[in-house]
Amino acid sequence: MGRLAILISGRGSNLQALIDAIERGILDAEIAVVISDRPDILGLARAEKAGIRTRVLPWQGDEHRESYFEAMAQVLHDEKIDLIVLAGFMRVLSRNIIREFPNKIINIHPSLLPAFSGMRAQRQALKYGVKLAGCTVHFVDEGVDTGPILIQRAVPVYSHDTEDTLAQRILAEEHVALPEAVQMVLAGNWRIQGRRVICEH
């Protein structure tokens, strides 16, 4: 059973999807700790309700970026974490923490990468006029939303969509994709070849 650290900045709906997947027996993992850069968010309340330990590491500004992620890395080592999951964590990780946990950090992003990386992906998709959008779970590397892709799930984009309606449709798929990707990584029957994640059944 893999030990997870979930990093959040807001509502924690993807955290809840992981909690639910563990309770339903479709994800063989333990959430050891939930780490937030903000206090008083719904995601922390979700964790506490589920009996999961939480740590708030308040963001101290970009000038303290390296020391911030050093403190986070210490928490992760103390908890003997097998996999770090960015589930709506709104900070770009430092290079040092990424190098310290190679292929042990995954992120979920609300677009079909490499399209529409960065912020407001749903707005980008609507503005571009694509007919399909979706979500991507990928390993975190030193770029922004550039790591090898584990899972993607697509949704249609309708002519009447707003940023909100598209975001809700994508979010429903995120709640399926993220537990699936976590289970896949923890199972260990994969390898990275170039940019590709190859599953070996």
Domain harbouring 163, CATH code: 3.40.50.170
Domain that holds residue 194: 108-201
Contact 188, 26 (CB under 8 A): no
Do 10 and 91 lie in one domain? The reply is yes
Residue 201 has pLDDT above 80, yes or no: no
Average pLDDT over residues 147-171: 97
The number of folded domains in the chain is: 2
Do 97 and 114 lie in one domain? The reply is no
* Calpha distance 140→84 (Å, rounded): 10
Which value, to the nearest 10 degrees, does the dihedral of the CA atoms of residues 115, 116, 118, 121 take? -140
Do 11 and 93 lie in one domain? The reply is yes
* Calpha distance 195→74 (Å, rounded): 29
Choosing from 84, 101, 118, the residue where a domain stops is 101
Average pLDDT over residues 59-67: 91
The residue among 87, 107, 104 whose CA lies nearest residue 18 is 87
Question: pTM of the predicted model, to two decimals?
Answer: 0.96
Residue 139 has pLDDT above 70, yes or no: yes
Would you please indicate which residues are annotated as catalytic (active-site) residues? 109
Residue with token string 């990707």: 181
Do 96 and 1 lie in one domain? The reply is yes
Q: Tens digits of per-residue pLDDT, 64-99?
A: 999 999 999 999 999 999 999 999 999 999 999 999
Do 137 and 188 lie in one domain? The reply is yes
